[in-house]
Amino acid sequence: MYNWFTDYLRGRTQRIVVDGATSEWSQGTSGVPQGSILGPMLFLLFINDLTDIIPPSTSTGLYADDTKLYKAIRSRQDSDLLQESLSHAEDWSKQSNIDFDASRCKVLTISRRKSPNETRYHLGSTELVRVISEVDLAIAVTRKLESINTSFKLYPRQI
């Protein structure tokens, strides 16, 4: 199995196409081939040890190239523990040569309180954007778990 995966990943070439303009071919020396059938599984194998460094008090969700950290926040200590988990994730990303795109990372607080916890969280030196709703895998989630119209059109290539 190891040899099969090694052969699959070794000697890859890649190029970029933007608005019909094509770059030169270059060697793919790291990462997982995007758009491949094995890509999501290989990526999960690659990042699976991330869950080992996140404290057990913070839950971790991994799906394809998406990572979620979540925790019930009932006190300042809980907020500090979530920030500690984010710091561990950032350290792991540096050691693993995977950059989390902090501009795509968001904080969604789900609460029935009129004034929910508004702690500021950071990934590295970047403060994470706080949102009142987020669409995840075509399901909209709001801070009060309200229903949102999430109708969208599927195109043939997405099916």
| Three-class SS state of 93 | helix
**What share of the chain in percent tops pLDDT 70?**
89
Residue 121 lies inside a defined structural domain of this protein:
yes
Instruction: Give the pLDDT band of residue 148 (cuts 50, 70, 90).
Output: low
Residue 21 lies inside a defined structural domain of this protein:
no
Residue of 42, 43, 40 lying closest to 98 (CA atoms)? 43
The structural domain count of the chain equals 1
For 42, the enclosing helix (H) or strand (E) is: helix 39-47
Print the domain residue range for 89. Answer: 39-154
Is the Cβ–Cβ distance between 55 and 81 less than 8 Å?
A: yes
Would you state the structure tokens that stand for residue 4, as one six-digit string? 């099969």
Instruction: Give the pLDDT band of residue 152 (cuts 50, 70, 90).
Output: low
Is the Cβ–Cβ distance between 116 and 79 less than 8 Å?
A: no
Residue 1 lies inside a defined structural domain of this protein:
no
Q: Which pLDDT value is given to residue 158?
A: 45
Residue 51 lies inside a defined structural domain of this protein:
yes
26-68 pLDDT, tens digit per residue, is: 887 776 777 778 877 887 888 889 999 999 999 998 876 788 9
74-122 pLDDT, tens digit per residue, is: 999 999 999 999 999 999 999 988 888 888 899 988 888 777 788 999 9
Residue 14 lies inside a defined structural domain of this protein:
no
**Count of CB atoms situated within 10 Å of the CB of 12:** 14
Instruction: Give the pLDDT band of residue 159 (cuts 50, 70, 90).
Output: very low
Is the Cβ–Cβ distance between 64 and 32 less than 8 Å?
A: no
Residue 96 lies inside a defined structural domain of this protein:
yes
- Asked whether residue 156 carries a pLDDT value surpassing 70, the answer given is no
Residue 34 lies inside a defined structural domain of this protein:
no
Strands (E), 23-88: 26-28, 59-63, 66-70
Q: What is the pTM of this model?
A: 0.73
